[in-house]
Amino acid sequence: MRWLACMFLLSGFSAQAAMVTELIYHDQDPGSEAYVTRILVNERYMRLDDGRDGGDFVLFDRKKGEVVNVLHGLKVLMRVTGRPLPLVRPAAYRVEERAEQVKQGTMRLQIRADGVLCSETVSARDLLPDAARAMSEYKLALAYTQLQTYLNTPEDLRQPCDLLHHVWESGRSLAYGLPLEERDYSGRLRRFSGSTRKPLDSSWFTLPEGYQTLQPPEADQATSNWQPADVQTR
């Protein structure tokens, strides 16, 4: 009978592993109407899409630290593999963080770079902690590519929030848990609408075959020319 009990135990683990957490956010860019972003998360993958199973999507492999943007119309896979950030930074900026409790278990976090508000986030610490970790891992996987984008941006268009929000401090806004509401320095607004647990559909986390794979270019600026820069936090 002991082996039978073990079989039931293992089948319980399999059922848990076959479940996926679905999160729904409403995102809004300045001057535009809000749109749906669906996030599907399990222990291995995170998928971002507009709620349609057959539409374009972004797939993040949490184990490999790899992000793939799937564009069905072009039959293209835009692949980004997370890489370590350089030990030196191209610009110095002062980081200021202010956190206050909104209610029990919910915090409001403001992050500034050189006095400029980069993000304001209301987060729930105990709500879907693995989903919050997956979001932080996703931002970290993109940080090196975001740095290349910054370096390829004309200097007069660069700002410290670009580096803080997307590169060096990419996971800071998630430090207090799952975002319920977030506004960043570009004016983009995100609101959490709800979540559910649902059975896994393997197609959610499967890349299409026969698509061309592209990777983002490296920045023109050589990192060997950077100078160490201190980042002050208070």
**pLDDT at site 15:** 43
**pLDDT at site 7:** 40
> Please, are residues 23 and 38 in contact by the beta-carbon 8 Å criterion?
yes
- Integer Cα distance of 126 and 130 in angstroms: 10
Residue ranges per domain, the chain? 19-83+95-216
Phi, psi of 136 (to 5 degrees): -65, -40
**pLDDT at site 90:** 65
- Integer Cα distance of 58 and 77 in angstroms: 9
> Please, are residues 210 and 70 in contact by the beta-carbon 8 Å criterion?
no
pLDDT tens, residue by residue, 18-49: 899 999 999 999 999 999 999 999 999 999 99
CA distances from residue 19 to 61, 153, 159 in whole angstroms, order as listed: 17, 41, 41
pLDDT per position in the chain (234 positions), as tens?
444 444 444 344 444 458 999 999 999 999 999 999 999 999 999 999 999 999 999 999 999 999 999 999 999 999 999 898 887 776 677 889 999 999 999 999 999 988 999 999 999 999 999 999 999 999 999 999 989 888 888 988 888 888 888 888 888 889 899 999 999 988 999 999 999 999 999 999 999 999 999 988 765 543 433 333 333 333
**pLDDT at site 178:** 97
**pLDDT at site 169:** 81
- What are the DSSP calls for the chain, one per residue? -HHHHHHHHHHHHHHHHTEEEEEEEEEE-TTS--EEEEEEE-SSEEEEESS-TTS-EEEEETTTTEEEEEETTTTEEEEEE--PPPSS-S---EEEEEEEEEETTEEEEEEEETTEEEEEEEEETTSSHHHHHHHHHHHHHHHHHHHHHHHTS-GGG--HHHHIIIIITTTGGGTTSEEEEEEETT--EEEEEEEEEEE--GGGG-PPSSPEEE-PPPPSS-GGG------EE-
The CATH number fitting domain 19-83+95-216, selected from 3.30.1310.10, 3.40.50.300, 2.50.20.10, 1.10.390.10 = 2.50.20.10
Torsion of CA 152, 137, 38, 123, to 10 degrees: -100
